[in-house]
Chain A
Amino acid sequence: MTTDGPHPVESRIAALEADAAIRLLAARYAVAVDGRDLDTLVSQFVDDVDVGELGVGRDALRRRFDAELRQFTVSFSLLGGHSIEILDEDHAVGLVRCRFERQVGEQWIVEALELQDTYERRDGAWLFSSRKPRPLYAGDILERPTLSPGAGR
């Protein structure tokens, strides 16, 4: 490793690689949700991911996705702004904006949300350690959307 100042070339390249990998992680997640690709979805999380009441790990996460992704049929997850903050060589946090459209019965719900992410690098691969959705609004495409509780604060 070179030692040319406080940010050696090695760590600068690693930070750029982290940024690129994390951007792709979010995009792959969105496409996997819309394609109901559970294998890809769970493989994008750390293997000891905390799934709350359902437990810990990818099997528990799969059960959660399997239940959640049956709440709507077709979906289209258009991502926009993604800000990433690299905390150290193995940890980062980020915010992703998503315009999430989905069919729920006879309704076509459009939701604007933010995903609050934490990322970890394990064995050289950047993964999600957590994702928390924070909706701004959601509503049928033909209605004026309802502001989500806590949105805009």
Chain B
Amino acid sequence: MTRALTVEDRLDRLQAFAEIRALPARYAEAFAWQDWAALVELYPVDVHVSRGVTGREALRAAFEKAMGIGTSGRTVAVASLHIGTHVIDIDGPDRAHGSVYCHGEMQRGDGSWYHQAIQYLDVYVRRDGRWYFEGRRRHELFYGVDPGQRPIGLPAAEWPSNDTGIGTAPYDLVTWQEFWSGEAADRETERTR
């Protein structure tokens, strides 16, 4: 496969991996220091924010709103996002998608803490030779818990309505459902034999 590619193509691809790998790391840095100016630099200048709303300023406002900044109900005081397990799929010279795991330790405005196991689903785009997150990252939640709590038997988090509870990952995955439904079917066969 690589034989058909020129040296230039191969270097482009390597550069894509290196730059894309840095994006979630920078995202975590920005959250650690609540540096929203740095955060929105990770998105294209014309980033889509919501219906009819684009641009980094609007994105910054959206992040600040989500964090509860400027209101009495500050929702996140500290966010330590420990990332790992980064899968990257290059779709074309200027487009890629990926998945990043994150163990997040967050402190709410009231001083209490919660931990989340997160899978971010990302789309990356290259503009003028630089890679960016295309838009808001999809935040798939495995679970959110109070520290010292097992993530078992909790109510559904229905993120982002609640920061703790059981998420939709991995339950919503077709592969996960098929793996376990196979087992249910096998058990049924055993029983009726």
Contact = CB atoms under 8 A, between A and B. Distances in A.
Interface string B1-29: 11100010011011001000000000000
Interface stretch (A47-55, A73-81, A130-138, A145-153): A73-81
Decide if the interface of chain A is mainly helix, strand, loop or mixed.
mixed
B151 interface: yes
Interface stretch (B35-43, B105-113, B172-180): B172-180
Contacts of A85: none
Given A13-B10, A35-B175, A76-B142, A106 B152 contact: yes
Interface in B147-183: 148, 150-152, 170, 173, 175-176, 178-180, 183
A139 to B, nearest CB: 12
A113 to B, nearest CB: 14
Decide if the interface of chain B is mainly helix, strand, loop or mixed.
mixed
A28 interface: yes
Given A76-B101, A76-B117, A141-B150, A27 B85 contact: yes
B14 A103 contact: no
Contact of A103 (B11, B103, B152): B152
B84 A80 contact: yes
A77 B82 CA distance: 13
A114 interface: no
Nearest to A70: B183
Interface of B: 1-3, 7, 10-11, 13-14, 17, 82, 84-88, 99, 101, 103, 117, 119, 142-143, 148, 150-152, 170, 173, 175-176, 178-180, 183
